[in-house]
Structure 1
Amino acid sequence: MIKYERILAVIEADRETQPALSRAYELAKKTGASVTAMLVVYDLSYDMTTMLSPDDREAMRDAVTKEHAGWLKKTLDDLGFSKTDIVVEWNNRAFEAVVHYVIDNSIDLVVKATKRHDDLASVIFTPTDWHLLRKCPSPVLLVKDHEWPENGEIIAAVNVGSEDDEHALLNDKITVIANDYAALLSGNVNLVNSYPATPLNIAIEVPEFDPDTYNNAVKHHHELEMNTHSEKYAIDSKRCYVKEGLPEKVIPKIAQDIDAELVIIGTVGRIGISAALIGNTAEHVIDELVCDVLAIKPDGFISPLSR
């Protein structure tokens, strides 16, 4: 069962509603965790005050921080969350402040709202979202402004076809957490796994290559591995999906088809040049989803922002 002791809700001053706070309290009520509301502030005019004395600059920063702390307290009072702990930090890189607070205070879960673009029926992820997905050691829950109904559908995005030990351990971790959330929310767990299509270059360059035989063998391998994995965690085979295609297409399509409330996915947190050149499969998947997303790191992950 999920054991959250400390949940951090990331507050955004430019939002009329605070779905991250609502979702954090929903989970806190079910787990007994405490909730901290964190607001990261920065005034760009501060960069133009280099002519002022250090004391004057500090006074300006303190005044802005105090003003936002007052706003946050009033907002929490108005929403009925008056007993929430408040943290207001000054930083022009919000994700750094959040990750450092997570590390320094042993936060079990970070909850942050995403921005919905109604015209496109999609979710827009901010740079802060992406940095948290890559660098935050704790699970990150990105939420929309909606309820989690009972008997809702939860997807555990797994990669059962891989022989890599790290992937196998992450599959287990994701599935355990999915089952825990299903128990917590009276929901249903669905396992989703994609497998690659036949490489066209092989089919063209090797005349004796039979793409149908190859494709059937790959599909059969993934189906067998999915059966083994689903039986291990007592998940009904009717809720197991093994589909050909890229994960960033297969997972969002199934999430849409079954009207999933939450997708749980693993992310290795690739950063730097490798992220730019190779990309991160989890991020491509997340970018296509319009439901809530819980991003999980492998055990032993160390944030590049660790001090």
Structure 2
Amino acid sequence: MKRFKDILVIAPRDVDMRKPLQAAASLAASNNARVTLFDSLGPLRFGRGAVLPGYKPDDVHQLMEQARRAELEALAAEVPHARVHVDVGTGRGFIEIIRRVQERGHDLVIAPPDQPGGLVGFARASTTMHLLRKCPVPVWVIRPEVPSTGDVLAAVGPFEEGTPTPLDRKIVELGSSLAAQRRGDFHLVHAWSLEGESLLRNGRVKMPASEVDQLVSEARLMAEDGTAKLLAEVGLGTDEVTAHVVEGRPVTAIGQIAGSIDAGVVVMGTLSRTGVSGLIMGNTAESTLGNLRASVMAVKPEDFKTPIESTRSLLSLSTDEM
């Protein structure tokens, strides 16, 4: 977590911000990081018959922005020993957030889920899901009902021919650091399976059971070896992490392990390992996020490209077309 130096905290109105602010304050104190509180106002829409004596729509919007800025400044005063700045934008929430990340160099986004507390998953959290899919930097979604201390689970894989990817290493490094910050235990889960096992055992052309068993054994060893290699690459000993190498579907394994250890945070990648970078979320991530009760830190590969155009890019494009 030492890597984060410029944290953007999303602060919607009428939301309990204590946990996100605590997390930002802790990181700011340990990293000497800058913190920015941000909220986005929607565009004003007046009916045709609306009459505003003495005011233009822009005047009303400016008053609203000033009022919201004052509220955020009062919220910023609750973050001790940190450099806290306030920013208010206009437009669709997740787009404005991602554009600020692109243009101002924020390296972590912290946000509460935009849905009622206590719900399983994030299916009703539209802005949250857009950020998890499209934001180019890590996004830490902090549920207000989850304790600020406790265990962390990192979900890794699938490995490429048994070899961990740079994204896997990034997930483990962040998860280990986050567990230390939360004074909890660090767990890792890697789900594996033999592709096509049911067809090999029960298809019209069956392999001998002993041969299928041998293939399953080889798949298990590859998963165990890949996990051991990953932990060695990041310098974690067996006394620093509990590794769960589980046969089965990743969605099921992640949910079961997270529930059994009562994980407070799950750190995971949110992109499919194949497909068009920046445009799709992996099926595993989508399904897992729909079933978790924990907070989530979502991580992207270093070469991830967001589909959201920055304002600077749009201005440059407009200038080139003139």
Within 5 Å, give how 1:116-135 maps onto structure 2. Answer: 117-118=117-118, 126-135=125-134
**Which 4+ residue blocks in structure 1 deviate beyond 6 angstroms?**
50-53, 269-274
Tell me the C-alpha RMSD between the 2 structures: 3.2
| 1:262/1:291 contact within 8 Å kept | yes
Within 5 Å, give how 1:180-259 maps onto structure 2. Answer: 180-196=177-193, 199=196, 200-203=198-201, 204-210=203-209, 211-232=212-233, 233-236=235-238, 239-259=242-262
Decide whether aligned partners of structure 1 residues 49 and 184 sit closer, same or farther in structure 2, where only a CA change above 3 A counts. farther
Within 5 Å, give how 1:94-133 maps onto structure 2. Answer: 94-114=93-113, 115=115, 117-118=117-118, 126-133=125-132
| 2:39/2:88 contact within 8 Å kept | yes
Match of 2:165 in 1: 168
CA distance in 1, matches of 2:183, 2:294: 18
CA distance in 1, matches of 2:260, 2:18: 28
1:109-152 residue CA offsets vs partner (Å, 9 max, x unmatched): 1000124543x565655111111111111110011124432xx3
Decide whether aligned partners of structure 1 residues 67 and 273 sit closer, same or farther in structure 2, where only a CA change above 3 A counts. closer
| 2:246/2:253 contact within 8 Å kept | yes
Within 5 Å, give how 1:35-184 maps onto structure 2. Answer: 35-42=35-42, 46=45, 48=47, 56-77=56-77, 79=78, 84-91=84-91, 93-114=92-113, 115=115, 117-118=117-118, 126-145=125-144, 146-149=146-149, 152-159=150-157, 161-163=159-161, 168-184=165-181
| 1:41/1:65 contact within 8 Å kept | yes
CA distance in 2, matches of 1:155, 1:168: 18
Gap runs ≥5 in structure 1: none
| 1:267/1:298 contact within 8 Å kept | no
1:209-264 residue CA offsets vs partner (Å, 9 max, x unmatched): 53434333322221222222223332317711111222111112111111222211
> CA shift at 1:159, angstroms?
0.9
> CA shift at 1:102, angstroms?
0.8
| 2:134/2:278 contact within 8 Å kept | no
Gap runs ≥5 in structure 2: 314-322
| 1:38/1:88 contact within 8 Å kept | yes
CA distance in 1, matches of 2:2, 2:125: 28
> Match of 1:27, SS?
helix
| 1:20/1:143 contact within 8 Å kept | yes
Q: Does 1:304 align with 2:319?
A: no
| 1:158/1:192 contact within 8 Å kept | yes
* Larger mean Cα displacement after TM superposition, 26-35 or 15-24: 15-24
Decide whether aligned partners of structure 1 residues 214 and 49 sit closer, same or farther in structure 2, where only a CA change above 3 A counts. farther
> Match of 1:243, SS?
strand
> CA shift at 1:28, angstroms?
1.3
| 1:30/1:184 contact within 8 Å kept | no
| 2:140/2:295 contact within 8 Å kept | yes
TM-score, normalisation: structure 2? 0.80
> CA shift at 1:282, angstroms?
1.9
Decide whether aligned partners of structure 1 residues 272 and 130 sit closer, same or farther in structure 2, where only a CA change above 3 A counts. farther
> Match of 1:248, SS?
helix
CA distance in 1, matches of 2:79, 2:219: 53
> Match of 2:29, SS?
helix
| 2:151/2:185 contact within 8 Å kept | yes
TM-score, normalisation: structure 1? 0.83
